[in-house]
Amino acid sequence: MKTRILGNSGLEVSTLGLGCMGLSFGYGPATGKQEGINLLRAAVEAGVTFFDTAECYGPFINEELLGEALAPFRSTLVIATKFGFRDGDSHKGLDSSPQRIRAVAEASLKRLNTDVIDLFYQHRVDPNVPMEDVAGTVKDLIAEGKVKHFGLSEAGVQSIRKAHAVQPVAALQSEYSLWWRQPEQELIPTLEELGIGFVPFSPLGKGFLTGKIDEHTTFDKTDFRNVVPRFSEENRKANQKLVDLLGDIAKQKEATPAQIALAWLLAQKPWIVPIPGTTKLHRLKENLGGADIELSAKEIHEIDTAFSAIPVQGDRYPSHLQQRVGK
Q: Summarize pLDDT for 51-105 with one digit per residue, the tens.
A: 999 999 999 999 999 999 999 999 999 999 999 999 999 999 999 999 999 999 9
Instruction: Indicate if 121 belongs to the active site.
Output: no
Burial of 84 (0-12, 13-18, 19+ CB in 10 A): buried
Cα(173)–Cα(274) distance, rounded to whole angstroms? Answer: 9
* Active-site entry in 27, 57, 121, 176: 57
| Contacts within 8 Å (CB) and 24+ apart, 311-315 | 312/179, 312/180, 312/230, 312/239, 312/242, 313/230, 313/234, 313/235, 313/238, 313/239, 314/228, 314/229, 314/230, 314/231, 314/232, 314/235, 314/238, 314/239, 315/228, 315/229, 315/230
Answer whether residue 167 shows pLDDT above 90.
yes
Burial of 309 (0-12, 13-18, 19+ CB in 10 A): exposed
17 — pLDDT class (breaks 50, 70, 90): very high
Q: What is the residue type of 327?
A: K
Answer whether residue 320 shows pLDDT above 90.
no
- What average pLDDT score do residues 153-168 get? 98
CB 203 within 8 A of CB 275: yes
Please state the domain extents for the chain. Answer: 3-322
Sorted by sequence, the CB contacts under 8 Å of residue 323 that are 6+ apart come out as: none
Q: What is the residue type of 144?
A: E
Residue 76 confidence (pLDDT): 98
Cα(4)–Cα(175) distance, rounded to whole angstroms? Answer: 19
The number of beta carbons lying within 10 Å of the beta carbon of residue 320 is: 8
| Domain range 3-322, CATH architecture | Alpha-Beta Barrel (3.20)
**Percentage of the chain lying above the pLDDT 70 cut:** 100
Residue 223 confidence (pLDDT): 95
CB 159 within 8 A of CB 130: no
CB 8 within 8 A of CB 195: yes
Cα(54)–Cα(84) distance, rounded to whole angstroms? Answer: 10
- What average pLDDT score do residues 183-209 get? 97
**Start-end of H helices in the chain:** 33-45, 61-69, 98-111, 131-143, 157-166, 187-194, 233-252, 257-268, 281-289, 297-308, 319-322
